[in-house]
Structure 1
Amino acid sequence: MCTEYEQHISYTQYCKVMQDLALGIPTHQSELDMPAANNIKIGEMAPVIRAAGDNIVELTQMKFGFPPTRTRGPVFNLRSERKHFGDSHRCLIPASAFFAYTGRKYSKAKHRFALVSAPLMAIAAIWRPSRKGQPAAFTMLTTESGPDVEPVHNRQVVVLHPLS
């Protein structure tokens, strides 16, 4: 599934979208809170958008993937169907593209997916607070693939389009 994404969104673009959505941004936030990144991979720190009060959102750095369990590796994708997230910490991952891979052995073919109609998207995610010395972490929500991703993979991340 999605183990990597890119974020080439300027802070100005981010602020414009938040303004269009009538959401405020804390005054202490700046370009430094949204550095461009070609390939954000599992285990790396990256910015996410989360609620910080009534109609206020903030960018905060979190680790991509929940920590490994005793029996499995890090949780980086989570099926969204038939789940309720009302008690979860929800967040959005600002992204310019996500990647899916085909093939069973190394080296797999890498496929890039981006919106044609907008320079940025948000990937639906949930996050957990820091635990046992680990930083706060996020995992992407997934759903059945749409017609563009389906030829490559049977699942995809939940993509939210910015308002036009």
Structure 2
Amino acid sequence: MCGPFTQRYTWAEVREFLSVIGAPLNLRPRFNIAPTTTIDVVRLDVEGQRELVRMRWGLVPGWWSKPLKYVPATFNARAETVAEKPMFWNAFKARRCIIPASGFYEWTGEKGAKVPHLFSAADGSPVLAFAGLWDRWKSPEGEEILSATIIVSGASAWMTPYHDRMPVLLMSEQFDAWLSGEAGPDALRPAAESALREWIVSARVNKTGQGADDPSLVEPVAA
């Protein structure tokens, strides 16, 4: 799975890595992003250019007819079934996106003594590119909500000691094919063994939604 993650890059960094167009945005670093909160998402605009848009993390399909509170957990979509599951298949066909991230967390250890690990780009890049989907939904009250999900695959051998799932990381040469819809499910593979690095961070990360603005959360701590 991909639970809490970080988005802590500048506008210049995300623009350079993802070739985003538009006026510069004041991007606030976030260090412990929880599902159902707002995240940065890169999608194609009506002219086929990449734009950065803010969306709810947890996809709500356009056909959903119940109130928002009844939407199941859709912050992740499994790569093996994303093209077939009713919650995701329309978005898979027509509304791809890339979710920029600086890192993501996973835990090891027993219940009550979980140790959080932060994973980021092995080369020190401030931006990773998660494969994602987005959709547009209108509530019964008429409110329009944009939402997105992160696609996860089985873990690589390197990742397996920490978790059996991991977010699908896209390389720059895959961006166009993914966003256009040309890339199929076979593109959703585990990241290369050399793509990520890992370190242990503060147990304060265990409190979902706490310290989202606290940069010390991502600093290495002793095991």
Structure 1 and Structure 2 fold alike (TM over 0.5): yes
Shift in CA distance, 63/119, structure 1 to aligned 2, threshold 3 Å: same
> Residue 11 of structure 1 aligns with which residue?
11
Shift in CA distance, 103/137, structure 1 to aligned 2, threshold 3 Å: farther
> Residue 134 of structure 2 aligns with which residue?
127
Q: Amino acid of the residue matched to residue 125 of structure 1?
A: G
Which structure carries more helix by proportion? 2
Structural RMSD (CA): 2.4
> Residue 158 of structure 1 aligns with which residue?
168
In 1, the alpha carbon distance for the partners of 2:112 and 2:148 equals: 27
In 2, the alpha carbon distance for the partners of 1:35 and 1:92 equals: 18
Counterparts in 2 of 1:62-101, with a 5 A limit?
62-66=55-59, 70=70, 73-84=72-83, 87-101=93-107
Counterparts in 2 of 1:13-92, with a 5 A limit?
13-19=13-19, 25-26=21-22, 29-32=23-26, 34-66=27-59, 70=70, 73-84=72-83, 87-92=93-98
Shift in CA distance, 103/128, structure 1 to aligned 2, threshold 3 Å: farther
Structure of higher CA gyration radius: 2
What 5-or-longer segments of structure 2 have no aligned partner? 61-67, 84-88, 174-223
Q: How far did residue 135 of structure 1 move?
A: 2.1
> Residue 109 of structure 1 aligns with which residue?
115
Alpha carbons 2:17, 2:127 under 8 Å: kept: no
Q: How many residues align?
A: 155
Q: Amino acid of the residue matched to residue 92 of structure 1?
A: I
Superposed CA deviations along residues 79-104 of structure 1, whole A, max 9, x for unmatched, are: 11254365241111111101112345
Q: How far did residue 107 of structure 1 move?
A: 4.7
**Structure 1 counterpart SS, 2:145:** coil
What 5-or-longer segments of structure 1 have no aligned partner? none
**Structure 1 counterpart SS, 2:148:** strand
**Structure 2 counterpart SS, 1:152:** coil
In 1, the alpha carbon distance for the partners of 2:168 and 2:33 equals: 17
In 2, the alpha carbon distance for the partners of 1:75 and 1:18 equals: 25
Shift in CA distance, 102/69, structure 1 to aligned 2, threshold 3 Å: farther
In 2, the alpha carbon distance for the partners of 1:134 and 1:89 equals: 16
**Structure 2 counterpart SS, 1:17:** helix
Alpha carbons 1:18, 1:25 under 8 Å: kept: no
